Chain A
């Protein structure tokens, strides 16, 4: 680690909050425009009807649900990883946790949008809320979509809390170091944080509880997303392996997204002294493990299907291996395994650039995986008379692209308002703990004096 004084750390990490460069504004404007294009496409879809998508019978789910699963998967980057690292007291986590948790909150929000975007009547999405209504009907708890509703809301609440709680001390820091309207703003945002030992110890305790709570929630969220598919008697979906398979894929894509985000932050916010090669290397090792796990799951799933040789299962199996979906399938294997494996396994290649290349491959590959889970199964469902195919429309593509721009936009805005690296945690990590600190005088002693 570098030996920076606390004051240097303060200055380095708070610098991004101070002003905006023309380059920043140009990039932000670009992303905002793309997001607006996506919003326009969605409004057009609401106005004209879902006919503007490429969906048809029998492929009733396409890009939107792919994006849904992909983004929810991506959201497993942050909170889950940061919680595990916190609990295991990995000291190298300190500069990493917040940028990871931010990905979670934003990716999850984006992902949670898609079930609404894909609805036939999105203006009625609130019917999923369990509230007593004049319609005299409650939502159906037996539907996996309701499980999604509960799981995503719990996870969103948990990960927002997980992100926000350790921000409070940093808000107080910014409050004290700024003037004018900014001071007032951060005064409110700090919730009156002063930094008494009471507050510090309560915060540590709350973070420990949250870390314990958020890990099983994260696992349950992606399990439930997988059960959206596994609950339906559709060949290729109706499988017990789906929940762990999806969770593994989610963490896989999540780490990849984190590595990309960290590399971008490092470059544009000049955090070369904080996000070090060792961070990329450690995350790269995690990514390698997940890549192997992912390969293992794909192999196990494919093997079981192939050996079982059920006619309806094989009708889905062959198009993905050697038929019309084969190019996508093998591209996925290349992106998720063939490219990342050697890069991450060979120490010389496990550099910052190397891990970023591997991560880009993984993000693309995992998106393809989601697509390949959904579409081939739906298009080859039982009765051959109803086989179909699917081609995304312009509307679906623009909305998909807009969500990537949306993440970039939110991330850029966030890093201007809140220090993207947790200042106090980093400083706490720099302190070499001294064994010579005197013990707290006991009240009895006080009285004896």
Chain B
């Protein structure tokens, strides 16, 4: 943790956290340097809108289409893959209804898998070593901070965070 330079404030009040985020943005901190962390989603607050755009539903739909195609091909191939046709009950080899059922199930499975993988990647999960974290978040605090600020801007940022209503200001790394 100590290897990363950062400065952050801990807020108790989500409205104050909102002001903190905007204060940092007004100070000209780039969006990818601003870090916000909370133990609740705080929907309806401005900071909850920070990079909330995602094409996840479209990816899920695409995953569904791929899954369904795999399902149909699997259903088809496994029934015609024999030198002699394996007939059962007088049904056609690629029986429409059973193939549709398998296609459907694998469509849904494709969509589910894509959603999970997209979530893991785009939410940057499965990275256990986070550059910046404070366990006070789990006691209800909201962290608003800057990753890798320039040393010169330190006092300015501290003041901005404090005037927005930060309860505590902390720094990490060589600042």
Q: Which residues in A have some Cβ–Cβ distance to B below 8 Å?
A: 6-7, 10, 130, 137-143, 146-147, 150-151, 153-154, 157-158, 161, 165, 168-169, 172-173, 175-177, 187-188, 191-206, 209-210, 213-214, 216-217, 220, 224, 424, 427-428, 431, 433-434, 436-441, 443, 445-446, 449
A-facing mask of B17-32, CB < 8 A → 1, else 0? Answer: 0110110011010010
Q: Is the CB of B22 within 8 A of A209?
A: no
**A143, A169, A431, A441: the one within 8 Å of B26 (CB):** A441
> Inside 8 A of B113's CB, which chain A residues have their CB?
157
> Inside 8 A of A168's CB, which chain B residues have their CB?
125
Q: List 24 A-B contacts (CB under 8 A).
A: A6-B40, A140-B79, A141-B95, A142-B91, A142-B98, A146-B102, A147-B101, A153-B105, A154-B109, A175-B138, A194-B137, A198-B50, A201-B41, A202-B56, A202-B123, A205-B56, A206-B56, A206-B118, A209-B60, A213-B108, A213-B115, A433-B44, A441-B21, A445-B25
Say yes or no for B140: interface residue by CB 8 A criterion: yes
- When C-beta atoms are compared, the residue in chain B nearest to A136 turns out to be B82
Secondary structure at chain B's binding surface: helix, strand, loop or mixed? helix
Distance, CA A199 to CA B38, complexed state (A): 10
- When C-beta atoms are compared, the residue in chain A nearest to B112 turns out to be A158
Distance, CA A147 to CA B112, complexed state (A): 18
> Inside 8 A of A202's CB, which chain B residues have their CB?
54, 56, 118-119, 122-123
Q: Is the CB of A157 within 8 A of B109?
A: yes
Given the contacts A195-B38, A197-B50, A424-B40, A209 and B56 also touching, CB distance less than 8 Å: yes
**A141, A176, A213: the one within 8 Å of B75 (CB):** A141
Q: Is the CB of B52 within 8 A of A217?
A: no
> Inside 8 A of B130's CB, which chain A residues have their CB?
192, 194
> Inside 8 A of B116's CB, which chain A residues have their CB?
161, 165, 206
**A177, A210, A431: the one within 8 Å of B42 (CB):** A431
Q: Is the CB of B51 within 8 A of A197?
A: yes
**A138, A146, A424, A449: the one within 8 Å of B39 (CB):** A424
B37 to chain A, nearest CB (A): 5
**A187, A204, A205, A441: the one within 8 Å of B22 (CB):** A441
B147 to chain A, nearest CB (A): 11
> Inside 8 A of B54's CB, which chain A residues have their CB?
201-202, 205
Contacts A154-B106, A198-B122 aside, 19 further interface pairs with beta carbons under 8 A come to: A7-B140, A138-B79, A138-B81, A147-B105, A153-B109, A154-B108, A161-B116, A172-B138, A173-B39, A175-B135, A194-B130, A196-B35, A197-B52, A201-B51, A203-B119, A213-B108, A428-B41, A434-B15, A441-B22
Interface residues in B34-63 (C-beta closer than 8 Å to A): 35-52, 54, 56-57, 60
- When C-beta atoms are compared, the residue in chain B nearest to A139 turns out to be B78
**B21, B71, B75, B108: the one within 8 Å of A440 (CB):** B21
Distance, CA A10 to CA B39, complexed state (A): 11
> Inside 8 A of A130's CB, which chain B residues have their CB?
74, 78
> Inside 8 A of B98's CB, which chain A residues have their CB?
141-143, 146-147
- When C-beta atoms are compared, the residue in chain B nearest to A188 turns out to be B128
Q: Is the CB of A438 within 8 A of B19?
A: yes
Given the contacts A142-B91, A194-B133, A437 and B46 also touching, CB distance less than 8 Å: yes
**A142, A196, A216, A428: the one within 8 Å of B37 (CB):** A196
> Inside 8 A of A142's CB, which chain B residues have their CB?
79, 88-89, 91, 95, 98
Q: Is the CB of B40 within 8 A of A431?
A: yes
> Inside 8 A of B81's CB, which chain A residues have their CB?
138
Distance, CA A188 to CA B128, complexed state (A): 7
- When C-beta atoms are compared, the residue in chain A nearest to B127 turns out to be A192
Q: Is the CB of A173 within 8 A of B138?
A: yes
**B36, B86, B102: the one within 8 Å of A197 (CB):** B36
**B40, B91, B112, B133: the one within 8 Å of A161 (CB):** B112
- When C-beta atoms are compared, the residue in chain A nearest to B99 turns out to be A141
Distance, CA A442 to CA B81, complexed state (A): 59
> Inside 8 A of B120's CB, which chain A residues have their CB?
191
B33 to chain A, nearest CB (A): 12
> Inside 8 A of A445's CB, which chain B residues have their CB?
25-26
> Inside 8 A of B79's CB, which chain A residues have their CB?
138, 140-142
Q: Is the CB of A204 within 8 A of B41?
A: yes
Distance, CA A112 to CA B14, complexed state (A): 46
> Inside 8 A of A140's CB, which chain B residues have their CB?
79, 86, 88
Q: Is the CB of B104 within 8 A of A201?
A: no
Distance, CA A157 to CA B25, complexed state (A): 41
Ranked nearest first, the 10 interchain pairs of A and B with the lowest CB-CB distance are A176-B138, A138-B78, A176-B135, A201-B52, A440-B46, A150-B105, A202-B123, A197-B50, A200-B41, A206-B119
Q: Is the CB of A446 within 8 A of B38?
A: no
Q: Is the CB of A7 within 8 A of B139?
A: yes
- When C-beta atoms are compared, the residue in chain A nearest to B46 turns out to be A440
Q: Is the CB of B37 within 8 A of A195?
A: yes
Distance, CA A186 to CA B102, complexed state (A): 37
> Inside 8 A of B45's CB, which chain A residues have their CB?
437
Q: Is the CB of A438 within 8 A of B22?
A: yes
Given the contacts A165-B119, A195-B37, A433 and B43 also touching, CB distance less than 8 Å: yes
Distance, CA A143 to CA B97, complexed state (A): 11
Say yes or no for B157: interface residue by CB 8 A criterion: no
> Inside 8 A of A201's CB, which chain B residues have their CB?
41, 48-49, 51-52, 54
